[in-house]
Chain A
Amino acid sequence: MSIAHARPPLVRSEDRLVAGVCSGLARHLGLRTDVVRWAMVFATLLGGAGIVFYGWLWIMVPTAAEAARRGARRPASSIAPAVSEPAGQARTTAPPAFPGAPERPLRLGGHGREILLGTVLLLGALAVGTGLLGLTVPLGVVVPVAAILGGAALAWLQLDESRRTQLVRGAGAGRWVGWLRLGAGLALVVAGVTLAISGSQWNVLGLALLASLAVLAGVALVLLPWGLKFWRDFGAERAARVREAERAEIAAHLHDSVLQTLALIQRRAGSEADVTRLARAQERELREWLYRDERRSGGAFADRLKALAAEVEDAHGHAVDVVCVGDASLLEGQREQRERIEALLQAAREAMLNAVRHAGGPVSVYAEASRDAIDVFVKDRGPGFELDAVPEDRLGVRESIVGRMRRHGGEATIVSGPDGTEVRLRLAGIGTEES
């Protein structure tokens, strides 16, 4: 109700009697709200110009909330969602001949009832006003026009609704409501047109309605194959585009990684260690890319272990084969749990480092995550060593493997012999996900 000094954008106001058009307009023009309202009523009495203008503004002008939402998301669309006035009109003036008009789906936000009430009041006022002025509008004109407007509004509402659901990506659930709405709108329009043409002869209505429905069904039948073909072509084209995109991605990947590595290998052909390291790293990367599982959530224990092994492999140019059975999540569970798993990973990393440093031949890593424990085994085929023979100042084994595991409530066993060394790590009391 306040008088604005600057010129605010034209939006429908929340402070309203019917749809907030008048107060919104008043705010926009800098006039008093009641002045605008009375002007609107007066214009309505002049041959209904006011109501047409009102309806037009109602359709085209968004509410303040909508405008804000659009401004935040995307450029405003000229068709405002609330195309509800004619629908309301149809409901209130339509005789019981159209009981099928769906009343439920018309819920617009939370304001459906208020809008309805407003429309009823407005129409009542209109009827009284025209009655007072001595104009009698024949029912035969009002009913068909109302039906056509109502039907069109229903269909339009559907369009807008579908756009809105597309925006929210609400799939499937409300689709039958949409179809129902479309069907009801169509029926209303057909009935209205029929009525208008047949000159409001109610007895003809049924037959004519049937005939129009038959015509519509025929048209649908004729157009159906064409529509289906169009739809299929569209689908095929989309699939082709997806394939093309996939191919491009593969090509890009091969170029970025594989070709580069091959070039690098040719240049370093002299150094066997470098070539092996490059080839191995590339192999691992390609494998990861080819066989990766998108559904697997990140941060899983197995992935972390493999990443650590890859790191060790890259740093020392020595193959580390990882086999994992089961998996444990690093994202769930308590912080303390995650810290324990992290400690296990670090101990495993240390064991792998030891293995590649001191042993020749392949290093095998096996991890098994079961319901209540995680075991990690790191085996190499080096000459082996005595734990007690390791000097005190060598922190590697004693501190970062055995000590770390013990501190986090795990166990570490080192078995060493002439055939190689195996570091066995075990962390019990871990809740893991089933594999």
Chain B
Amino acid sequence: MSEPVSVVIVDDHTIFRSGLKADLDERVRVVGEAGTVEEAVAVIEQVEPQVVLLDVHLPGGLGGGGREVLTRSTALLPRVRFLALSVSDAAEDVVSVIRAGARGYVTKTASGPEITEAVLRVAEGDAVFSPRLAGFVLDAFGTAAVSDVADDELDRLSARELEVMRLIARGYSYKEVAKELFISVKTVETHVSAVLRKLQLTNRHELSRWAADRRIW
């Protein structure tokens, strides 16, 4: 990993953009910035970064914010990865960008090194779950342990996935999760990616109902 990861920062607050740029370390190179939905779509298409740091709330477009940027950049999705970044803790904000294709979610209060770490992880193709996002997932899928769940079953989390989610919600890093469960970090990443996929693909009606019902967590 000698080459720094190319990143586009999409956020409507210039102060926040410049602050974030200063916080990210040398493993990341900022190649573009955007402040509205239209700018973002154009810049992303033009520079094709490895990772887009995407604010959930953005002016412009049809008012869809970060989600709209994602849906309008679907063609680039496999190559360009999106990491949602928001001050909002609202379930509908978080879950909607994830379902639109973002590979992870971090809050804006996260420190520079944390965000850098998350960017690198997303660039590798892994998912980034904050404790809060893990909490959403547990809330949405239910915490009851289910024994044998087939991998392609989208409505449920396997017992292992549940355990991983729970540890992440408790504030464990991937490394700590791996240590706690006596598995490798790579396996943890696999589990998290599987959960992300389920979150994106399931059309379990409880999920949408849950997202509509709850606005806090």
Contact = CB atoms under 8 A, between A and B. Distances in A.
A323 B131 CA distance: 7
A323 B169 contact: yes
Interface stretch (B7-15, B63-71, B76-84, B170-178): B170-178
Interface residues of A, number: 23
A337 interface: no
B135 interface: yes
Contacts of B89: 287, 291
Contacts of A323: 131-132, 134-135, 169, 217
| Minimum-distance CB pairs A-B, first 7 | A364-B171, A323-B135, A366-B170, A379-B171, A377-B170, A325-B138, A366-B169
A377 B167 CA distance: 10
Contacts of B27: none
B136 to A, nearest CB: 9
A379 B172 contact: yes
Nearest to A303: B216
Contacts of A362: 171
B144 interface: yes
7 contacts: A290-B90, A321-B131, A323-B135, A323-B169, A362-B171, A364-B170, A371-B144
Contacts of B202: none
Contacts of B143: 325-326, 368, 370
B215 interface: yes
A85 interface: no
Given A291-B216, A366-B131, A325 B139 contact: yes
Given A293-B216, A323-B217, A366 B135 contact: yes
Interface in A373-432: 377, 379, 419, 422
Contacts of A321: 131-132, 171
Contacts of B217: 323-325
B138 to A, nearest CB: 5
Interface in B174-191: 176
B72 interface: no
A292 interface: yes
Contact of B166 (A368, A379, A422, A435): A368
Contacts, number: 58
B204 interface: no
Main secondary structure of the interface of A (DSSP, over half): mixed
Contacts of B170: 364, 366, 377, 379, 422
Q: Which of B143, B166, B176, B214 has the most CB of A within 10 A?
A: B143
A39 B173 CA distance: 97
Given A324-B217, A371-B144, 7 more contacts: A287-B89, A291-B88, A293-B215, A323-B132, A323-B134, A324-B135, A325-B135
Contact of B214 (A293, A368, A370, A422): A293
B90 A326 contact: no
A296 B213 CA distance: 10
A435 B214 CA distance: 10
Interface in A331-377: 362, 364, 366, 368, 370-371, 377
B215 A366 contact: no
Nearest to B175: A419
B144 A364 contact: no
A323 B133 CA distance: 9
Contacts of B214: 293
Interface string A311-329: 0000000010101111000
Contacts of B131: 321, 323, 364, 366
A364 B177 CA distance: 15
A312 to B, nearest CB: 16
A379 B167 CA distance: 11
Contacts of B144: 370-371
Interface in B106-143: 109, 131-132, 134-135, 138-139, 143
A326 B139 contact: yes
